[in-house]
A = this chain, B = another copy of it.
């Protein structure tokens, strides 16, 4: 996947700002890749970007319309199709991270074929991946892992990339999920790869590099998630990480989507991830703990971070509240 930039962000008829979180992520992390937003009537999201129709976006240099909104079930709304067709007609490619594919909408498929435009369904990898070789690659790699799904792995990875870049470090964020792919315009939606090729896809995603180069790889799932741990383990092995960051959300009462499964202890989780990662990189180490304390008050958050830091002797931050500079300093 190599999506042409800059983007026009399509917010559609987003029910609320959460429904437009993909667009929000792109705007937050790659504002330089965005020319404006396109909203339909009844859109309840607003990124504060300039509202543009398609001709104005093309005029402003846009190359791709990105569907930055999700509705229930991840489907492509009939309301959107007319706009998406117009975008193709006016010269834009389309990209989306929905369950249903743009390429499966006959009108869009036909228009794209006729006009020579590209449809990027980033949740559906099109590449053919090799079986992993396990051979050590040059360059340095950091991987975020988690006590659970959806606890801040993408955010933490992007924050670390940004912090490293600001310090002049040779670094790339490597996206493994649809939002990350749309943010950066490249990556592999690892949970949609055929299971024989999980680790091989990650090896392909983070190829050999300069010895001082860092790949900051977005983690997925959790070794303790009964639905997705296989994805996580394959990702860990393919990544061959030198450094791991544990991501955690401390107020969760059970594993996401699994009401009868409680969260692992932080120490147990770090030990299991370290052991798994040692298979393909015996020198792997943990380099920090990243906690999403958004549901705690500032005093509660500070107490939790301090206690965790002392307990594990490991830099512990909320990447939103404190930033990740202490983690990056520890790494360098």
Report A's interface with B, CB cutoff 8 A: 131-135, 190-196, 198-200, 223-224, 226-235, 237, 257-258, 260-261, 272, 275-276, 279-280
Q: Which of B195, B199, B272 contacts A198 (CB 8 A)?
A: B195
Is the CB–CB distance between B224 and A279 below 8 Å? Answer: yes
Q: Please, could you name 11 A-B residue pairs with CB atoms under 8 Å apart, sorted by A? A: A131-B228, A132-B226, A134-B261, A135-B260, A192-B196, A193-B194, A196-B227, A198-B230, A199-B226, A230-B231, A231-B234
> For the complex, what is the distance from the CA of A244 to the CA of B183, rounded to whole Å?
43
Q: Which of B134, B199, B224 contacts A230 (CB 8 A)?
A: B199
- Chain B residues, Cβ within 8 Å of A257: 131
- Chain B, Cβ-Cβ closest to A132: B227
Nearest chain B CB to A60's CB is how many angstroms away? 37
Chain B CB count within 10 A is highest, among A192, A193, A229, for A229
Q: Which of B131, B195, B226, B233 contacts A280 (CB 8 A)?
A: B226
Is the CB–CB distance between A228 and B196 below 8 Å? Answer: yes
- Chain B, Cβ-Cβ closest to A223: B233
Additional 6 contacts, C-beta under 8 A, given A134-B260, A191-B195, A199-B229: A134-B226, A193-B195, A195-B230, A199-B228, A230-B235, A261-B279
> For the complex, what is the distance from the CA of A135 to the CA of B190, rounded to whole Å?
25
- Chain B residues, Cβ within 8 Å of A279: 224, 226, 229, 261
- Chain B residues, Cβ within 8 Å of A224: 279
- Chain B residues, Cβ within 8 Å of A135: 260
- Chain B, Cβ-Cβ closest to A190: B195
Nearest chain B CB to A280's CB is how many angstroms away? 5
> For the complex, what is the distance from the CA of A192 to the CA of B276, rounded to whole Å?
23
> For the complex, what is the distance from the CA of A198 to the CA of B191, rounded to whole Å?
10
- Chain B residues, Cβ within 8 Å of A234: 195, 229-231
Nearest chain B CB to A208's CB is how many angstroms away? 16
Nearest chain B CB to A200's CB is how many angstroms away? 7
Q: Which of B200, B227, B237 contacts A133 (CB 8 A)?
A: B227
> For the complex, what is the distance from the CA of A257 to the CA of B280, rounded to whole Å?
14
